[in-house]
């Protein structure tokens, strides 16, 4: 009995995948039987799939842990600073301060939010519902703004940017060559309201650019969103069919859905982070 106990091999628990390996006999065969190639192949494939799933799950968990860590740090900074500000307008919420940050939603005007004291690239880090978000600093106020009389808060899809309007004169010297009259109107309106934008793309060999009914307005960041929202608000007057910016799309056909997310196309330009694309009828 003693020799039997000493000779026994302990069970392996180091790896859950290893426990489902080839050490167990196949049903209907003895432990000493030779396992056929098909069985080995099935086991190998099962192990490979399991490892792939584990890696995918691990990446997802790592991303979640990172988000939790960022939110926790933001809450700590906000608690230490103990300061709040007010939003003065409808604001986009971002996951970071850079132009490549992902849009995570919006926050209405006249909302009180906690700040962390961090400001970068014209944006301020705030804490909303315990989560870290970044907003444009120019639209925050230490004092609560007075609401406009008899004006109700509107949803983000109904809001129109204050300031820019149709008409005006382009004075920065930029010009385009296009196949639709409406594209000239779009260029003139954007140029008049945002003279700092001087680069536009029209004719190209592919798709609607090749048909002469599309324009790329080379702009990024919050200014890009201001241009995109202005064009959306005036789509009817400008003959616009759809707009793409920052991996988001809006179209007349599905206007009730607002901005819709698009799949990742692999680069900043392909995802339209560095330009607003407009197609007209």
Domain boundaries, the chain: 37-146, 181-280
pLDDT at 25 over 70: no
Model pLDDT for residues 99-128, shown as the tens digit of each residue: 888 888 889 888 999 999 999 999 999 999
By the 8 A CB rule, do 128 and 113 touch? yes
Of 25-29, 139-143, 263-267, the range with the lowest mean pLDDT is 25-29
Helices 221-233 & 181-193, crossing angle to 10 degrees?
Answer: 130
pLDDT at 153 over 80: no
Phi, psi of 82 (to 5 degrees): 55, 55
Q: Quote the Cα angle for 191-221-61, to 5°.
A: 160
Q: How far apart are CA 239 and CA 281, in angstroms?
A: 6
pLDDT band at 133 (very low <50, low <70, confident <90, very high): very high
Measuring CA to CA, which residue among 248, 228, 226, 258 is closest to residue 240? 228
Domain 37-146, second-level architecture: Roll (2.30)
By the 8 A CB rule, do 125 and 118 touch? yes
Of 53-62, 75-84, 121-130, the range with the lowest mean pLDDT is 53-62
Entry pTM:
0.45
Phi, psi of 29 (to 5 degrees): -130, 165
Q: How far apart are CA 203 and CA 261, in angstroms?
A: 26
């Amino acid at each position: 009995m003693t020799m039997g106990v000493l000779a026994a091999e302990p069970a392996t628990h180091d790896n859950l995948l290893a426990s489902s390996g080839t050490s167990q006999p196949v049903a209907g065969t003895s432990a000493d039987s030779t396992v056929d190639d098909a069985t080995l192949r099935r086991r190998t494939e099962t192990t490979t799939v399991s490892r792939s799933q584990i890696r995918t799950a691990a990446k997802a968990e790592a991303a979640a842990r990172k988000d939790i860590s960022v939110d926790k740090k933001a809450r700590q900074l906000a608690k230490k600073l103990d300061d709040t500000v007010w939003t003065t307008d409808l604001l986009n919420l971002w996951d970071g301060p850079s132009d490549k940050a992902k849009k995570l939603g919006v926050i209405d005007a006249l909302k009180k939010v906690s700040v962390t004291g961090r400001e970068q690239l014209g944006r301020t880090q705030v804490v909303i519902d315990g989560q870290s978000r970044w907003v444009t600093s120019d639209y925050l106020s230490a004092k609560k703004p007075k609401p406009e009389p008899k004006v109700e808060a509107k949803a983000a899809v109904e809001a129109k940017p204050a300031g820019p309007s149709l008409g005006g004169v382009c004075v920065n010297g930029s010009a385009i060559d296009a196949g639709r009259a409406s594209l000239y109107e779009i260029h003139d309106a954007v140029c008049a309201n945002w003279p700092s934008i001087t680069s536009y793309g029209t004719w190209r060999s592919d798709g609607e650019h090749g048909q002469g009914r599309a324009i790329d307005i080379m702009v990024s960041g919050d200014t890009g969103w201001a241009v995109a929202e202005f064009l959306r608000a005036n789509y009817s007057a400008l003959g616009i069919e759809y707009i793409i910016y920052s991996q988001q799309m809006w179209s007349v056909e599905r206007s009730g859905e607002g901005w819709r997310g698009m799949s990742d196309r692999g680069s900043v330009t392909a995802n339209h982070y560095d330009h607003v694309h407009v197609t007209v009828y």
